[in-house]
């Protein structure tokens, strides 16, 4: 049965929420403004479907869809590219949610560059690759637009070298002053400073933005939505995402899903859930959060993953937290689902708090984890649950088995369900 109600959140981005500008009972068109950007850093929010508003709260509007016609929308009205991007309500669609207009309102004319982040480093997620294959001309057009806005002479699309098909497609479409940067297959290659380090050779400290290296980094789907806003006058009302794990059709990539679609409806697109599921994850295996079938997707949702039932291990467990993977709270949630008792929590020594978030000094380059593992051992840990990057998981595996400590990783349930290799010892080709 087709979904009837779409829930559009007024805060789907970093900054202040949009302020509702519709009332219950109003008829709205797809693309119509329903939340006007609030004070300061904020973004517009539009209806993704044509229908009737049936409920408005401070946090969201529920809209009953009443037209099955897909693809129509009320066009944007601004003139300049930057104003169109602002009017469209585009934020970082790789998960960060930073308003795109604010990021692009910068001058890179003194030798700066725009880097397009197509690393797609979370396992299972595949929609950026599918978008490259589906829309290479539009991506290149989008890159020209952002180069023009910022004055950047150079545009670089960064993707993993192993994705040879997409590398070939892009090479055939690149224009002057554009190039590809080929990335190694490790997690977290999509972290902004990791990409800047690989592309420019400069390692930024945890407090610095890519601008300190003369770069602006934009997620690949964000770039595609910029193309849509500037050329097609389309607001940010659709999202690419991947459904995977314990679903009947296996990994299923969905392009242009209306924002506000319910998780249940997308699981059905992937054939529905298999009988045994431990949890549903919104996002990727490393950084996603537990969700429910009744939740709705936003502009930053990249994945819906059904994980395997949790392995049960009631022994004392130590948690080792990465700045770029699951945080302490998420690891505690997984430990509780495994029936384990948490006896110690350690953070990778490269993880530091910056403005309330953990940041890594040098993402993906392991500082050595032996001391942390031994410390957790001394606190009574018999097992380990870790969220470390590929390189650090490798060093955990170089010591924990010798101490007879079984190692679990935050991504295990998702990767097992998808039939993919677990994050443990690094092999050529990475995770
Ligand atoms: S070095 Fe440490 S904090 Fe940085 S990505 Fe690896 S595990 Fe995470």
User: Structural domain of residue 54, as residue ranges?
Assistant: 5-65
Residues 331 and 263 occupy one common structural domain = no
DSSP class of 212: G
Cα(325) to centroid(ligand 1), Å: 8
Pairing state of beta strands 279-282 and 303-307?
antiparallel
pLDDT at 3: 64
Residues 299 and 325 occupy one common structural domain = no
Residues 121 and 94 occupy one common structural domain = yes
CATH number (domain holding residue 55) = 2.40.50
Q: Which residue CA neighbors atom 8 of ligand 1 most closely?
A: 322
Residues 127 and 220 occupy one common structural domain = yes
Which run of H or of E encompasses 263? helix 263-269
Cα(114) to centroid(ligand 1), Å: 25
Ligand 1 pocket test target in 388, 394, 409 with most atoms within 8 Å of CB = 388
Tokens 């978008």 belong to which residue? 131
Mapping DSSP onto H, E and C, the string for 320-351 reads EECCCCCCHHHHHHHHHHCCCEEEEEEECCCE
Residues 125 and 268 occupy one common structural domain = no
Q: Of ligand 1's atoms, which has the minimum distance to the CA of residue 365?
A: 1
In a domain, 70, yes or no: no
In a domain, 146, yes or no: yes
CATH number (domain holding residue 153) = 3.40.50.11540
Cα(408) to centroid(ligand 1), Å: 16
User: For the chain, what is the largest distance between any 2 Cα atoms, rounded to a whole number of angstroms?
Assistant: 65
Residues 282 and 358 occupy one common structural domain = no
CA 226 to chain centre: 17
Does the C-beta of 348 come closer than 6 Å to ligand 1?
yes
Tokens 């290659």 belong to which residue? 189
Cα(322) to centroid(ligand 1), Å: 5
Q: Single out the residue of 431, 334, 343 nearest to residue 386, CA to CA.
A: 334
Encoded tokens for 7 = 């829930």
How far apart CA 66 and CA 78 sit, in angstroms, is 28
DSSP string across 345-370: EEE-TTEEEETTEEEESSTT-----H
Q: What is each CA distance from 45 to 7, 315, 319, in whole angstroms? A: 12, 47, 39
Q: Which residue CA neighbors atom 2 of ligand 1 most closely?
A: 348
Last residue of a domain, one of 193, 208, 232: 232
How far apart CA 148 and CA 140 sit, in angstroms, is 12
In a domain, 431, yes or no: no
- Strands in 60-65's sheet, in edge-to-edge order, are 5-9, 60-65, 51-56, 27-28
pLDDT at 2: 64
Encoded tokens for 61 = 């509007």
pLDDT at 428: 47
Encoded tokens for 271 = 């054939």
In a domain, 427, yes or no: no
Last residue of a domain, one of 182, 209, 232: 232
Q: What are phi and psi of 60, to 5 degrees?
A: -160, 170
The count of domains in the chain is 4
Q: How many CB atoms lie within 10 A of CB 203?
A: 15
In a domain, 423, yes or no: no
Which run of H or of E encompasses 138? helix 136-150
Residues 6 or more apart whose CB falls under 8 angstroms from that of 227 comprise 135, 138, 139, 141, 142, 145
How far apart CA 57 and CA 412 sit, in angstroms, is 37
Cα(37) to centroid(ligand 1), Å: 35
Does the C-beta of 394 come closer than 6 Å to ligand 1?
no
Peptide bond into 32 cis (omega under 30): no
Cα(396) to centroid(ligand 1), Å: 12
Low-confidence ranges of the chain (pLDDT < 50): 428-431
Q: What are phi and psi of 425, to 5 degrees?
A: -75, 135
Q: Of ligand 1's atoms, which has the minimum distance to the CA of residue 191?
A: 5
How far apart CA 351 and CA 353 sit, in angstroms, is 7
Task: Specify burial of residue 172 (Cβ count, 10 A radius: 0-12, 13-18, 19+).
Answer: exposed
How far apart CA 316 and CA 132 sit, in angstroms, is 46
pLDDT at 146: 98
In a domain, 73, yes or no: no
Mapping DSSP to helix (H, G, I), strand (E, B) and coil, where does residue 253 land? strand
How far apart CA 149 and CA 147 sit, in angstroms, is 6
0.85 exceeded by pTM: yes
Q: Single out the residue of 422, 319, 410, 324 nearest to residue 365, CA to CA.
A: 324
Does the C-beta of 81 come closer than 6 Å to ligand 1?
no
Residues 372 and 400 occupy one common structural domain = yes
Residues 6 or more apart whose CB falls under 8 angstroms from that of 390 comprise 186, 187, 364, 423, 426, 430, 431
Residues 221 and 95 occupy one common structural domain = yes
How far apart CA 189 and CA 376 sit, in angstroms, is 28
pLDDT at 68: 67
DSSP string across 4-50: -EEEEES--SSSBPPEE---TT-EE-TT-EEEE--SSSB--EE-SSS
Last residue of a domain, one of 282, 307, 332: 307
**Do 296 and 9 contact (CB within 8 A), yes or no?**
yes
């Amino acid at each position: 049965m087709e979904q009837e109600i779409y829930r559009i959140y007024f805060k789907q981005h970093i900054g202040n929420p949009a302020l509702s500008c519709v009332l219950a009972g109003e008829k709205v068109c797809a693309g119509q403004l329903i939340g006007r950007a609030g004070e300061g850093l904020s973004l517009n929010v539009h209806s993704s479907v044509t229908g009737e508003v049936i409920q408005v709260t401070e946090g969201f509007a529920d809209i009953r869809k009443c037209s099955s016609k897909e693809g129509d929308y009320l066009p944007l009205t601004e003139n300049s590219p930057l104003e169109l991007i602002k009017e469209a309500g585009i934020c970082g669609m790789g998960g960060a949610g930073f308003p795109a207009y604010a990021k692009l309102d910068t001058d890179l004319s003194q030798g700066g560059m725009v880097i397009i982040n197509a690393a797609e480093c979370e396992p299972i997620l595949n929609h950026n690759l599918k978008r490259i294959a589906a829309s290479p001309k539009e991506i290149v057009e989008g890159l020209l637009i952002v180069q023009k806005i910022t004055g950047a002479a150079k545009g670089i699309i960064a993707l993993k070298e192993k994705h040879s098909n997409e590398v070939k497609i892009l090479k055939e479409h690149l224009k002057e002053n554009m190039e590809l940067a080929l990335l190694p297959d490790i997690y977290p290659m999509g972290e902004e400073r990791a990409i800047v380090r690989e592309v420019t050779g400069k390692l930024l400290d945890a407090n610095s933005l890519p601008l300190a290296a003369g770069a602006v980094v934009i997620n690949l789907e964000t770039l595609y939505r910029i193309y849509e806003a500037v050329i097609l006058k389309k607001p940010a009302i659709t999202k690419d995402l991947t459904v995977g794990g314990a679903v009947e059709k296996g990994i299923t990539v969905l392009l242009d899903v209306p924002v506000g679609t319910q998780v249940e409806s997308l699981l059905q697109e992937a054939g529905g859930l298999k009988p045994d599921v431990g949890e549903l994850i919104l996002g990727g295996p490393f950084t996603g959060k537990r969700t429910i079938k009744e939740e709705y997707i936003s502009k930053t949702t990249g994945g819906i993953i059904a994980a395997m039932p949790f392995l049960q291990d009631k022994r004392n467990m130590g948690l080792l937290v990465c700045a770029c993977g699951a945080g302490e709270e998420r690891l505690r949630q997984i430990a509780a689902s495994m029936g384990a008792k948490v006896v110690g929590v350690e953070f990778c020594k490269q993880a530091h708090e910056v403005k309330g978030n953990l940041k890594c000094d040098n993402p993906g380059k392991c500082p050595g984890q032996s001391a942390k593992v031994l410390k957790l051992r001394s606190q009574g840990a018999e097992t380990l649950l870790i969220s470390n990057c590929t390189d650090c998981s490798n060093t955990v595996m170089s010591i924990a088995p010798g101490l007879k400590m079984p190692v679990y990783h935050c991504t295990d349930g998702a990767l097992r369900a998808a039939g993919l290799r677990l994050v443990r010892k690094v092999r050529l080709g990475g995770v």
